[in-house]
Amino acid sequence: MVGIVIVSHSSKVADGIKDIAQQMAKDVNIIAAGGTADGEIGTDAFKIQEAILKANTGNGVLIMVDLGSAVLSAETALEFLDEELRQNVCIADAPIVEGTIVGAVQASTGAMLKDVLKTAIGACTLRKI
């Protein structure tokens, strides 16, 4: 199964999104990587790198990001991965809550990374009302 890493400035936000997504996709390997190493608001490329390694079970990893430095730190984390794994990790340009949930559900079906990514990006156009 494709693993998912959630990168938010807040560890509470990342943990909370993981909880919601896990409720619908309990078997998917979802790792929250929110906040900085010292528990402050922010993002940490090394924490993200570690989360990617944990989330990967051989089928690649989708990274969900909130904004700003979350994207920069996730991209920096990609630079620290070995080439083979890097080819199997992508960052979704998608809303972090909705994208994670629909992505996780898609991942739980055993879908490939490119399809999980596509589903997560699809959350951009999800109508609520």
Partner 1 sequence: MSKHVAAIIAIGQAIITNKEYLTELDREIGDADHGINMAKGFEAVIHKLSGLDEDKDVGFVLKTVAMTLISSVGGAAGPLYGTAILRAAVPAAGKFELDAMTVQAMWEAAITGIKERGKASRGEKTMLDALEPALEAFSVGIRDGKRLLDCLNLASMAAQNGVEYTKTIVATKGRASYLGERSLGHQDPGATSSFIMIKALLDFFRSQGSV
Which residues belong to the active site?
9
Among positions 44, 60, 98, 123, the unique one binding partner 1 when judged by CB under 8 A: 44
Residue of 19, 20, 23, 46 that binds partner 1 (CB under 8 A)? 46
Using an 8 Å Cβ cutoff, are 98 and 123 in contact? yes
Residue whose CB is less far from partner 1, 56 or 73: 73
Contact pick of 2, 4, 45, 65 for partner 1 (by CB under 8 A): 45
Q: Number of residues interacting with partner 1: please give it, by CB under 8 A.
A: 16
The minimum distance between CB 35 and partner 1, in angstroms, equals 8
Q: What is the distance between the alpha carbons of residues 110 and 47, in angstroms, rounded to a whole number?
A: 26
Nearest to 77 by CA among 95, 89, 59: 89
Residue 33: CB minimum distance to partner 1, A: 13
Q: Report the residue number, 73 or 100, with the smaller CB distance to partner 1.
A: 73
Which residues, at least 6 apart from 87, have a Cβ–Cβ distance to it below 8 Å? Answer: none
Q: What is the DSSP annotation of 42-79?
A: S--HHHHHHHHHHH-SSS-EEEEE-STHHHHHHHHHHH
- DSSP, res 81: S
Enumerate residues 57-116 that contact partner 1 by CB under 8 A.
68-69, 72-73, 75-76, 79
Interaction site with partner 1 (CB under 8 A) = 36-37, 40-46, 68-69, 72-73, 75-76, 79
